[in-house]
Amino acid sequence: MESIDIPSIVLGGLAYGMLLFIVSVGLSVTMGLMGFVNLAHGAFAMIGGYVVVTLMGGLGANFFLALLAAFVLVALVSVVFERLLYAPLYRADELSQVLLTIGLVFMMIATVTFFWGTEPKTIRLPSYLAGPMDLGFTSFPAYRIFMIGVGAAMIVALWLGFERTTIGAQIRAAVDNRRMAQSLGINVDRLFTMTFALGSGLAAMGGGLGIEIIGLNPQYALNYLVFFLIVVAVGGLGSIRGTFLAALVIGMFDFAGKRLYPEAGAFFIYAITIAVLLWRPQGLFGRR
């Protein structure tokens, strides 16, 4: 009988779940808040990844600075996109939104291919993040332990931001009842732009953080979109708690499933999605 290293399964699932969370949380908030079907979200993550690759490869920048730069740059670019392209379609039907954003995905794939080529990109991590780390009870890749830390820090920061600040309260109010929020004098338009920028910036950071785990090439924007959408659907639109929980559950199931029953492959991620959505069609923490 083969031995099964339980702690490594838990750690692996957590790390993968955290990655899903970091990339998907922005999508959840923007879809929940604005009701906008933003299929280009994965493309923002991809652009973030390429910013990190370029800064680290060409300019030899520090990994953390590169991540920060990806966040800022993509957040800024996304504001331009939001004002010029997204805003006019806020009241349009979902099909128009889907067509716009999927079109953007194709354009971004082509742009990325033009500038960076089709070959997959890799980064060289700082040496203390590469290789295994001995935790006493098991040894596990240092980078994944770092991912778990980053994800945990991010959920705390987001939770504080949304639950304990005025802007957070305004965003929650706008998600719950946009008209009422507006009539209370909340500038929902500006709120939209800010949340959109935040969501895109987070995606960009996730893109950079994920290079080491899921790679980066121009197809990224489409290949992983399904997983981001699954996380959002299972978690419930607009709920940070829900996205977090969904990302962890899906990450865990996926990792444990592949570890224990590799033949079943990617089946687990879909099984858990179907099960949750049958039970709660609005997602774990979704309203409506």
Partner 1 sequence: MRISRLVAAAAVAAMFSAGAAYAKTVKVGIVLPYTGGGADFAKQIEKGMKLYLSQNKDKLGGHEVELVTRDSKRPGGDIAKVAVQELITREKVDILGGFVYSPNAMSVAPLVTEAKVPMVIMNAGTSFIPAMSPYYARVSFTMWQSGYHMGKYAAEKLGYKTAMAGFTNYPPGKDSAAAFKRGFEDAGGKVQELIPMGGPREVPDFTPFFQKVKDAKPNALYMFVPAGSHASAVVKTYNDLGMRGAGIALIGPGDITQDTKLQGMGDGAQGLVTVHHYSADYDTPENKAFVKAWKAAYGADSTPDFMGVQGYDGMAAIVDVINKLNGEIDADKAMDILKGWKFASPRGPIMIDPQTRDIVQNEYVHKVTKQGDRLMIEVVATIPQVKDPCKELKVGKCK
Q: Using CA atoms in the order 97, 98, 101, 105, what is the torsion angle rounded to 10 degrees? A: -170
Q: Is 132 in the site for partner 1 (CB under 8 A)?
A: yes
Token look-up 């339980």 returns: 6
Q: What stretch of H or E contains 139? A: strand 139-141
Binders of partner 1 among 5-24, rule CB under 8 A? 5, 8-9, 12, 15-16
When the beta carbons of 143 and 196 are compared against partner 1, the nearer one is 143
When the beta carbons of 9 and 79 are compared against partner 1, the nearer one is 9
Of the candidate spans 79-87, 95-103, 180-188, 208-216, the one that interacts with partner 1 by CB under 8 A turns out to be 208-216
Q: Is 126 in the site for partner 1 (CB under 8 A)?
A: no
Q: What tokens does 224 get?
A: 């992983």
Interface pick for partner 1 out of 212, 232, 243, 283 (rule CB under 8 A): 212
Of the candidate spans 40-48, 128-136, 161-169, 279-287, the one that interacts with partner 1 by CB under 8 A turns out to be 128-136
Cβ neighbours around 172 below 10 Å, total:
15
Q: Is 223 in the site for partner 1 (CB under 8 A)?
A: yes
Token look-up 């959920």 returns: 155
When the beta carbons of 124 and 190 are compared against partner 1, the nearer one is 124
Which candidate, 136, 129, 115, places its Cα nearest to that of 54? 115
CB of 170 to partner 1, least distance (A): 37
Helix (H, G, I), strand (E, B) or coil at 140: strand
Q: Is 214 in the site for partner 1 (CB under 8 A)?
A: yes
Token look-up 């993968």 returns: 16
Q: Is 102 in the site for partner 1 (CB under 8 A)?
A: no
Per DSSP, 184 falls in state T
Interface pick for partner 1 out of 64, 92, 98, 118 (rule CB under 8 A): 118
Q: Is 63 in the site for partner 1 (CB under 8 A)?
A: no
Across the strands, what pairs with 132?
A: 141
Give Cβ neighbours of residue 278 (< 8 Å, ≥ 6 apart). none
Binders of partner 1 among 228-287, rule CB under 8 A? 254-260, 262-263, 265-266
21 dihedral zone (left: phi>0; alpha: psi -120 to 50; beta): alpha
In the complex, which residues of this chain contact partner 1 (CB under 8 A)? 2-5, 8-9, 12, 15-16, 113, 117-120, 122, 124, 130-132, 139-144, 212-215, 217-219, 223-224, 254-260, 262-263, 265-266
